[in-house]
Amino acid sequence: MSSAKLAAGGALLALCLSACGTSSKPLAGSPGVVQSHSGRGRVDDPRTKHLKCLRAHNVPVVKVGQTGLQIGTPPSGPTVTFAPTPGAAQRAQIEGQVESAEVIGSALLSPNAATDKELKVIEDCLAQGVSG
């Protein structure tokens, strides 16, 4: 086989191989990238359904950080922190990492100076979706 044919065949092979997988994909997390699926790669905020319930009962509540809720005004208003799992919330309570917090599912409710009536509404809203 002549070197010209060999060079032409090699160039054709290189061109074909270089065309494999040349689709341009946007950088993950860049603006304009729309997530079309609702499973993988999406972090669910554990506060969403509880916020709806609390606001439906006219409880003044705001998000704090990535996992917390402040109900009313600090320091007298109750605070809620969500652990990754109910077991992690129980562990934090048992190990004394949170003072006087009540575990409701994965939520740690610190009552502070809330009244029994306020706590009943908050507890009921936090208990939504909790089994056992």
Q: What is the pLDDT of residue 40?
A: 66
With a cut of 90, say whether residue 106 has pLDDT above it. yes
Report the share of the chain in percent with pLDDT over 70: 67
**pLDDT confidence of residue 88:** 94
- What mean pLDDT is reported for the chain? 81
Buried-state track 67-89, b at ≥16 Cβ within 10 A, e below 16: bebbbbeeeebbbbbbbeebeeb
Average pLDDT over residues 64-86: 92
Average pLDDT (46-67) is 92
Q: Kindly report the pTM of this predicted structure.
A: 0.65
